[in-house]
Amino acid sequence: MTGPLPRVTETIRLFAGDCTVVFEGDRERTQRGYVVVVVKPDRTVLVHDAGGYQPVAWLTRADDLTTETEGDSFALTARSGEQTLRVVSEAPTGRREYPATEAGVPVGDCPDCGDALVRAGGEVTCLGCDAAYGLPAGAKVLDSACEDCGLPTMRVERGESFELCVDWRCDSLADAVADALHGRWDCPDCGEPLGVVSRGNRPFLGCEAYPDCETTFSIPAGEAVGECPCGLPVFETAAGRRCLDGTCDRYYEAPVETETGP
C-alpha cells in the first residue's frame, strides 16, 4: 500500500420539529414533542428532546432504514430484528445534511489544502480534502513534519526505531527495515540468513533459501533487545518481551539486576 488512500465522504442527517416518536420492542412507547432526530452514517438513529443528555428514543445500526419526505414533512422508519423506531413529523420540519468523519487527534495541517489533519484509528486523514494515510501497527505520530512533503512524521518500531513520513511514497517502511535488518539473523531451521521481504509495504523476515526453506516471521512492533534461548531475537513490545517466533515456548526472561558491593 502506497500513498494516500481515498477517503469516503459520509453525511449526518438532521431533522428538527414537532414529531411523533413510536418505538416497538423491548422499551415500547409513543411520545410527541419538539425533538431533533440524528441519523448517523452507520444507520444509528437518535431522537433528542430538551432534557438530559440521553436520547428519548434510539436504534443502533438499524438493519433497514427508510426515509420518506414530502415538502418540509418526513417519516422515518428504522428496523433491527424485532425492534422498530418510527418518527413522523406533525408540522413543517427543518431538515439538513452535513459531512461527517471520525473525530481524531489533531496532528498538523494538510500541505495540499491547508485544512486540519487528524489521527483517527489507524490512519491520518484530512478534514478538508480526500487525503488519508494508513499507519503501520504501533506507529506514533510525531510533532515534526516531513522535509519533502510537509506531512507529519511517525515513529515506527520494527527491530529498530524509524522516523518516517506518514506517506509511504516519501519513506518506505519496508525499505527502511530491509536496510537495518536484512541478514542480521539466521534461519533457525536451515542456518541461512533471514532476509526482509514485504507484502504491500509490510515487512517480514524470510529465509533466503526460499523455496527450499519456507521459514517466515512477522516482525513485531518493537525493538530487538536481546536473544532468546532458541537463538532468535527478543523484541520489547507494548505487551512485553517476546521472541521473534510467536510460537516459541522458550520464553526470554531478562536477568534480574542486583546491586553488589564495591
Per-residue HEC secondary structure of the chain comes to CCCCCCCCCEEEEEEEEEEEEEEECCCCEEEEEEEEEEECCCCCEEEECCCCCCCCEEECCCCEEEEEEECCEEEEEEEECCEEEEEEECCCCEEEEEEECCCCEEEEECCCCCCEEEEECCEEEECCCCCEEECCCCCEEEEEECCCCCCEEEEEEEEEEEEEECCCCCCCHHHHHHHHHCCCCECCCCCCEEEEEEECCEEEEEECCCCCCCCEEECCCEEEEEECCCCCEEEEECCEEEECCCCCCCCCCCCCCCCCCC
Least confident interval from 96-105, 123-132, 248-257:
248-257
For residue 198, the model assigns a pLDDT of 84
Cα(235)–Cα(223) distance, rounded to whole angstroms? Answer: 5
> What value does the mean pLDDT take over residues 97-104?
86
For residue 93, the model assigns a pLDDT of 87
Q: What is the mean pLDDT of residues 96-125?
A: 89
Residue 257, pLDDT score: 47
**Residue 161: closest CA among 224, 206, 217, 205:** 224
Residue 8 has a pLDDT of 53
What pLDDT, in 10s, does the model give residues 231-261?
Answer: 899 999 988 899 999 888 765 454 444 444 4
Residue 254 is predicted with a pLDDT of 47
Per-residue confidence (pLDDT) for residue 169, from 0 to 100 = 87
Per-residue pLDDT, 260: 45
Tell me what pLDDT residue 250 has: 63
Q: 42 or 259, which is more confident?
A: 42
Of the chain, the percentage scoring pLDDT greater than 70 comes to: 92
For the domain covering 10-100, report its CATH number.
2.70.180.20
Say if residue 195's pLDDT is above 60. Answer: yes
pLDDT at 4 over 70: no
Q: Using an 8 Å Cβ cutoff, are 236 and 252 in contact?
A: no
Inform me whether the pLDDT recorded for 39 exceeds 80: yes
Tell me which long-range contacts 37-46 makes (C-beta under 8 A, separation of at least 24): 37/76, 37/87, 38/12, 38/13, 38/14, 39/12, 39/13, 39/14, 39/15, 39/65, 39/67, 39/76, 40/12, 40/100, 41/10, 41/11, 41/12, 41/100, 43/78, 45/76, 45/78, 45/85, 45/87
C-alpha–C-alpha distance, residues 245 and 185, integer Å: 12
The pLDDT value given to residue 102? 82
Please tell me the least confidently modeled range out of 86-95, 98-107, 151-160. 98-107
Can you give the residue ranges of every domain in the chain?
10-100, 105-171, 176-243
More confident residue, 8 or 239: 239
Determine which of 122-131, 176-185, 244-253 has the lowest per-residue pLDDT on average. 244-253
